[in-house]
Amino acid sequence: MQQAAITEATASLEEAEANLRRASALSRTNVISTETLIQRQTAFATTTAKLASTRAARAVAEADQAIAQAQHAELTARLAQTEIRAPAAGLIAKRSAKLGQVILPGSGAADLFRVVRDSVYELDAEIPRSTCR
């Protein structure tokens, strides 16, 4: 959208410049009035300003896009810091973490949860022979 506006403003500027050149040449031979020449000069100045304004608007839009991308990257990085992953799949047997608690890396995060691994149960027991059938 911005590129189309710049292209349009550039075309208008080229037209105003051509009109000003013709009016200047005709003014030297007194074929057109001074008022007409001033109108052409004003039109040229106006279209020059419009092109500059359109380019500035494009630069602002690009800067806004860069800011939005930086904010997105920051939020993505912050979101990644909100995840706690268990070293293995299993069931949570004990939870000492509290909602909203802030944990810094290396500050005892191992004590937040106690995980019992899925299907890795061992039983080491002695059973008297008399109880077995």
Instruction: Note down pLDDT in tens along the chain; length 133 residues.
Output: 788 888 999 999 999 999 999 999 998 998 999 999 999 999 999 999 999 999 999 999 999 999 999 999 999 998 887 777 777 888 888 888 787 777 777 666 557 778 887 776 677 788 888 887 6
Q: With contact defined as beta carbons under 8 Å apart, do 17 and 46 qualify?
A: no
On whether the pTM is more than 0.85, the answer is: no
Establish if 25 belongs to a structural domain. yes
Establish if 9 belongs to a structural domain. yes
Establish if 120 belongs to a structural domain. no
pLDDT at 1: 73
Establish if 115 belongs to a structural domain. no
pLDDT at 102: 77
pLDDT at 121: 67
Residue 125's alpha-carbon distances to 103, 122, 131, 132, in angstroms, are 39, 10, 13, 13
pLDDT at 110: 57
Domain that holds residue 40: 2-80
Establish if 49 belongs to a structural domain. yes
Count the domains in the chain.
1
pLDDT at 47: 94
pLDDT at 98: 80
Establish if 95 belongs to a structural domain. no
Residue 40, Cβ density class (10 Å: 0-12 exposed, 13-18 middle, ≥19 buried): buried
Establish if 112 belongs to a structural domain. no
